[in-house]
Amino acid sequence: VFVPLRSMYFDYKREEYFKKTPIDASYEGLIKKLSSMNIQYHLLDETILAKYGRADGEWLRVGKCAYKYIIFPKTLTMDKNSKKLFDEFYESGGKILFTDGVPVYLEGEECEYALKSNITLEEILQAQPYHVTDISGAIQSAYHIYKGCPFLFAVNTDVHHAGAATFTGGFHSFNCLDL
């Protein structure tokens, strides 16, 4: 998930500090939606992207992590390095989803982007290595591979009611902890 920090400051008004902006609402809404759908994500910051990011075919590599899909909440502007990197990623077959429109500025100046959404949220969900059928609506999960073994962590976010979910994806064992 691209963090639209530059866009958050783009039309910042000090007197409206505590007011939620459309950028804030889009970003928060996207994070909540991905979490509730149990879609795994990392947050991509432009500063880290500039230092460690590179396009590698249909993958965007940032340090030791590789991403096949980049999701943008409402984003008004980004820096030139980010645009160049996303253009290379997109042109090499990388998948991008704009949930709330394509940016319209580059470093604060009007700019027409060639980038368009080329994947849907449903396609990203179906491509995950596991699936959750969350009956209760309160289960969130995280998937990692540690020393070649898949590890799925799931938590019931509702402290007052029991959660109920079905997990599929080739897991061989299950441990339930009541913390």
Give the integer Cα–Cα distance in Å for 130 and 4: 28
Q: Can you give the pLDDT of all 179 residues of the chain as single tens digits?
A: 999 998 888 877 777 777 888 999 999 999 999 988 889 999 999 999 999 999 999 999 999 999 999 999 999 999 999 999 999 999 999 999 999 999 999 998 999 999 999 999 999 999 998 888 876 778 888 888 888 888 888 888 888 888 778 888 877 777 777 66
Pairing state of beta strands 59-62 and 53-56? antiparallel
CB contact at 8 A, 72 and 29? no
> What SS3 class is residue 23?
helix
Give the integer Cα–Cα distance in Å for 172 and 87: 40
Quote the pLDDT of residue 13. Answer: 74
Quote the pLDDT of residue 179. Answer: 67
CB contact at 8 A, 143 and 41? no
CB contact at 8 A, 61 and 38? no
Quote the pLDDT of residue 107. Answer: 93
Quote the pLDDT of residue 44. Answer: 95
CB contact at 8 A, 40 and 142? yes
Q: For residue 50, which phi and psi values (nearest 5 degrees)?
A: -65, -35
Contacts 24+ apart (CB under 8 A), 121-129: 121/33, 121/37, 121/39, 121/71, 121/97, 123/95, 124/39, 124/69, 124/71, 124/95, 124/97, 125/37, 125/39, 127/68, 127/69, 128/38, 128/39, 128/40, 128/169, 129/169
- Residue 24 has, within 13 A of its CA and on its CB side, a CA count of 9
